Amino acid sequence: EVQLLESGGGLVQPGGSLRLSCVVSGFSFSNYAMSWVRQAPGKGLEWVSALSGNGATTYYADSVKGRFTVSKDNSNNTLYLQMNSLRAEDTAVYYCAKNPDSYGSGSSQYWGLGTQVTVSS
Amino acid sequence: DIQMTQSPSTASAFVGDRVTITCRASQSITNWLAWFQQKPGKAPSLLIFDASTLETGVPPRFSGGGYGTEFTLTITSLQPDDFATYFCQQYHGYPFTFGQGTKLEIK
């Protein structure tokens, strides 16, 4: 059974940093691309970032480019999202999701439960 | 970036009704489109991918269509469990953008 579990969210001041983690199980992590998607309170879904299965190719939304970094540790089946220079508009539930192939194409069939990030002074 | 525009933003219907939600892309995305259902406090759930392919386990009252820039999600014979918010997403090219969502309410 495919499972994804995010952690690392919390309350942080503007300008601060957080690192989100997503531990996965039930599939060969190194063979699949992964994505981060967020949802601000009462708003729609916003795609944030993606990482190829081998970790060599990254993609970012313009809204986070230069501030967020996606990475993975295949030995620990863990996806990360390092978030720096956080802003109030980054406040959201952050989901990790599994892509259907290693390149990052296709829609995400499996999603985690999400972790809440709140940026506020 | 490819912009995705959904309509309507909100829809009201009775149990048993047929509902159609539309999603338009700002440029051709061929058939690289997915539909998701989301209920309050839950993660999105994939319904349809490649514009018209039903995800395993999704009831056949859900169907998707379209190609290029205009797409539809149709739900026939609405069930109480179908009242939720629906999002389209294009994956023709990064960034993989979502529509703003359609909230389906019970009348």
At B10 the pLDDT is: 97
pLDDT value, residue B74: 98
Report the phi/psi class of residue A44: left, alpha or beta, with left for phi > 0 and alpha for psi in -120 to 50. Answer: beta
Pairs of residues, one from chain A and one from chain B, whose beta carbons lie less than 8 Å apart: 49
Asked if the Cβ–Cβ distance from B91 to A111 is below 8 Å, we say no
CB B91 within 8 A of CB A105: yes
Query: What is the overall mean pLDDT for chain B?
Result: 97
Say which residues have a Cβ less than 8 Å from residue B21's Cβ, sequence separation at least 6. B6, B7, B8, B11, B72, B73, B74, B86, B88, B102, B104
pLDDT (0 to 100) of residue A51: 96
DSSP string, B40-89: TTS--EEEEETTTEEPTT--TTEEEEEETTEEEEEE-S--GGG-SEEEEE
User: Cβ of A115 under 8 Å from any chain B Cβ?
Assistant: no
Q: How many CB atoms are located within 10 Å of the residue A62 CB? A: 8
Q: Contact B46/A47, CB-based, under 8 Å?
A: no
Residues A34, A58: Cα–Cα separation, whole Å: 10
The per-residue pLDDT for A106 is: 85
Q: How far apart are CA B91 and CA B78, in angstroms?
A: 28
What pLDDT shows up at residue A34?
A: 96
Cα A21 to chain centroid, rounded: 8
Confidence tier at B70 by pLDDT (50, 70, 90): very high
Max CA-CA distance within chain B? 38
- Write down the pLDDT at residue A93: 98
Chain B positions touching A62 (Cβ under 8 A) are: 1, 95
pLDDT at residue A102 greater than cutoff 90 = no
What is the residue whose two structure tokens read 């993989």? B96
pLDDT in tens, A16-71: 999 999 999 999 999 999 999 999 999 999 999 999 999 999 999 999 999 999 99
pLDDT of res. A68: 98
Check whether A104 has a pLDDT greater than 90. Answer: no
> Are the beta carbons of A47 and B96 separated by less than 8 Å?
yes
